[in-house]
Structure 1
Amino acid sequence: MSYVTESFRQLFGSEPRRPDKSEITPEAQAVHIFKKQHPFDVTAFEEARQAHAGDAKKWRNRRWTTLIIVNLLFVVSYYFDVQLLEGALTASRFMGFHMADLNSALQVTLAFKHMVLNLVIGTATVFVLWLLLGGRTFCSWVCPYHLLSEWAEKVHLYFADKGWIKDHSFNRKIRSAFYLIFALLALISGYTVFETISVTGIVSRALIYGPGVAMIWVGLVLLFEIFYSRRAWCRYVCPIGITYGVVGAISPLRVKYVLKDCHHEGDCRKVCLVPHVLDMTVKGKAAHTEVDVSADCTRCGMCVDICPTDSLRFEIKGLGKHL
């Protein structure tokens, strides 16, 4: 099954397809057999973990810095009227050039049944940008709610570790259902219903123009994530991830998994927002010696940061080099 097909399956809620034994390449089979016959040296692994400690937050720090700078550019442009990055994440102008959030553009088009020229230009620009960078990169590197949810997740995990709460998961196909519901509501009602409740848009506008009553909704969503279901909005509701994931399915920027270097300790899946995309890291499941992580990956880099043996790494396809 092709990378794009499998990416689409995962984006719309299907579980990762597990390859039959006949689909596992001889090279991958040889690595699996070698690992089974030669267990990793625990001492050597701990030494590798300690040596990697200095890079344990490298990509997280880069991502947080980028996300904060992008959103601060909106704030600075508005307050000082420098016309650098005007508007908000849903629709903006960068140095006079129009940019439009792809999901917002879709909602507007469905609601009003046509696209104005500026929306066409803005959509095309953003489409090309995330086609190159990987669609769901928007979620972890730009979306301000993602950062709030990431911090809320730390509280959730602390409470869960203390035994005060229990995490509740849902079927991931619910997000596809919401995607269809929001699209149909826009088409039938002529109103962009999702934009009214989109925590991404609400937080973005609150940062720029000041908080309003809508921030109460954001607070309720965060409380739900802290006390009931970890990262529920991003995992089970928000259609933005699907829209960008579809666009980024053929992006050259991906996270690559290298089988021979993996110790299968599972730390990468524990920190991942979308752990199903790392199913190949489970012992014996990789069909190839090198596997690209699907387009449902947000490219947040947390798995890359936590992996002590660099079996997960950013790579630009076609250039043969990792970042």
Structure 2
Amino acid sequence: MSAPLKRRFVDQILVMLGKEPEKPRQAADFTERAAKTHELKRLTNKADLQAAKEAHRANAHNHKWRNRRWITLIFANLLFVVSFYFDIQVLEGALTASRFIGFHLIDLNSALQVMLAHKHIITNLLIGTGTVLVLWILFGGRAYFSWVCPYHLLAEWTENIHLWLVKKKLITDTPIDRRLRTVFWAVFALLAVVTSYTVYESISPTGIISRALIYGGSLLAMLWVLALLVFEIFFVRRAWCRYACPIGLTYGVVGIITPLRVKYTVEGCFHEGDCRKVCLVPHVLDTVIKGRAVDLEVPIGPDCTRCGLCVDTCPTGSLTFEVKGLSKLL
């Protein structure tokens, strides 16, 4: 890995913890081939560039990865419901803790909360935690949210209402400092230690919806989830997932070492900005802004949810899924 990419990698981890992305400023921040590419782009006639943008946009948008993701997410959650309803014992439990054909699966953040509350490592949890850890190392850390989490899907659907209201100028989006998520992670960890109770699990919309789908949920818990969605519609776009959910940080750490990632190739990019508009966590795509890519190919950081919206939207195919060391995914 070149020095610019190493610096980029460290910066991506800091961005995951809440640091705002910064534009590379020194020549040493770029590889030689990236610097040459940026210079060629600066020399391109603006009228020609705009014409190329519009030509590519005309045939751009598809929903291949989004549709795959929605099908996978709905299927995974329905499998819990069907297994319980018909007592077929294929996928038992809920997203926080389950068993798939005899294999124990325990959500990483839930296991951490339990062990902090009990103040010691619980051996029985390690097997299920290890299985899930390996699974999400392979499939991309925060991909857990966009491909499995039921709250994520509801928030994605209600986000369209928020964007429509913004477009009509009936509301304005009010971003929050992303460092708040790291603060929440620490606060809930501390509460587990102090109270000997998994406080976060009682308010986690992921767990609440998962249990409600399978076993039925309490009115108070569902009202809490509804309140979160209403807040996101009228005040802050994707507030819980972007700024509050401590599970996101836990799986983001896993995403640091995952081989599955979205890769950005700068040469064919016209910097339309369409990808950042649809991205669920747009700070991870700061590298696509004109003049910021430190190499010709840059992997998107661990805070990426691998949702595929940017891949679907990119009119030039400059964003692709790939497994590190292998060819891009179809």
TM range (shorter): over 0.9
8 A Cα contact 1:98 1:118, kept in partner? no
Residue 314 of structure 1 and its aligned partner are, at CA, apart by: 0.5
Pick from 182, 197, 207 the counterpart of residue 176 of structure 1. 182
Match of 1:310 in 2: 317
Pick from 221, 228, 243 the counterpart of residue 235 of structure 2. 228
Letter in 1 for 2:12: S
Letter in 2 for 1:219: L
Report the secondary structure of 2:208's partner residue. Answer: helix
Residue 42 of structure 1 and its aligned partner are, at CA, apart by: 3.6
Report the secondary structure of 1:260's partner residue. Answer: coil
Q: Percent identity?
A: 59
Pick from 134, 141, 151 the counterpart of residue 128 of structure 1. 134
What is the alpha-carbon distance in structure 2 between the residues aligned to residue 94 and residue 118 of structure 1?
A: 16
Match of 1:57 in 2: 63
8 A Cα contact 1:10 1:16, kept in partner? yes
Q: How does 1:85-104 map to 2 (within 5 A)?
A: 85-104=91-110
Report the secondary structure of 2:217's partner residue. Answer: coil
Q: How does 1:124-203 map to 2 (within 5 A)?
A: 124-203=130-209
8 A Cα contact 1:7 1:249, kept in partner? no
Letter in 2 for 1:271: V
Residue 132 of structure 1 and its aligned partner are, at CA, apart by: 1.1
Report the secondary structure of 1:51's partner residue. Answer: coil
8 A Cα contact 2:145 2:305, kept in partner? yes
Letter in 1 for 2:169: G
How many residue pairs get aligned? The number is 321
What is the alpha-carbon distance in structure 2 between the residues aligned to residue 8 and residue 257 of structure 1?
A: 17
8 A Cα contact 1:277 1:297, kept in partner? yes
Letter in 2 for 1:293: I
1:62-81, Cα deviation, whole Å (9 max, x unpaired): 00000000000000000000
Indicate how the Cα distance of structure 1 residues 42 and 8 shifts in structure 2: closer, same or farther if over 3 A, else same: closer
Letter in 2 for 1:159: L
What is the alpha-carbon distance in structure 1 between the residues aligned to residue 253 and residue 22 of structure 2?
A: 18
Residue 322 of structure 1 and its aligned partner are, at CA, apart by: 3.7
Q: How does 1:102-117 map to 2 (within 5 A)?
A: 102-117=108-123
Pick from 31, 37, 44 the counterpart of residue 43 of structure 2. 37
1:118-150, Cα deviation, whole Å (9 max, x unpaired): 311100000001111110000110000000000
Pick from 265, 268, 271 the counterpart of residue 275 of structure 2. 268
Residue 4 of structure 1 and its aligned partner are, at CA, apart by: 4.7
Residue 320 of structure 1 and its aligned partner are, at CA, apart by: 3.5
Match of 1:8 in 2: 13
Residue 18 of structure 1 and its aligned partner are, at CA, apart by: 2.8
Report the secondary structure of 1:250's partner residue. Answer: coil
8 A Cα contact 1:136 1:241, kept in partner? yes
What is the alpha-carbon distance in structure 2 between the residues aligned to residue 309 and residue 127 of structure 1?
A: 34
Q: Give the RMSD, CA atoms, in angstroms.
A: 1.3
Q: Which of structure 1's runs of 4+ aligned residues deviate more than 4 A?
A: none
Task: Give me the TM-score of the superposition, normalised by structure 2.
Answer: 0.94
What is the alpha-carbon distance in structure 1 between the residues aligned to residue 240 and residue 14 of structure 2?
A: 20
8 A Cα contact 1:86 1:94, kept in partner? yes
1:221-241, Cα deviation, whole Å (9 max, x unpaired): 000000110000011110011
1:288 aligns with 2:295: yes
8 A Cα contact 2:53 2:272, kept in partner? no
8 A Cα contact 2:320 2:328, kept in partner? no
Residue 2 of structure 1 and its aligned partner are, at CA, apart by: 4.5
Task: Give me the TM-score of the superposition, normalised by structure 1.
Answer: 0.96
What is the alpha-carbon distance in structure 2 between the residues aligned to residue 184 and residue 217 of structure 1?
A: 22
8 A Cα contact 1:100 1:123, kept in partner? yes
What is the alpha-carbon distance in structure 1 between the residues aligned to residue 54 and residue 21 of structure 2?
A: 30
What is the alpha-carbon distance in structure 2 between the residues aligned to residue 186 and residue 41 of structure 1?
A: 54
Letter in 2 for 1:107: Q
8 A Cα contact 1:112 1:190, kept in partner? yes
What is the alpha-carbon distance in structure 2 between the residues aligned to residue 36 and residue 7 of structure 1?
A: 26
8 A Cα contact 1:260 1:289, kept in partner? yes
Residue 114 of structure 1 and its aligned partner are, at CA, apart by: 2.8
8 A Cα contact 1:258 1:291, kept in partner? yes
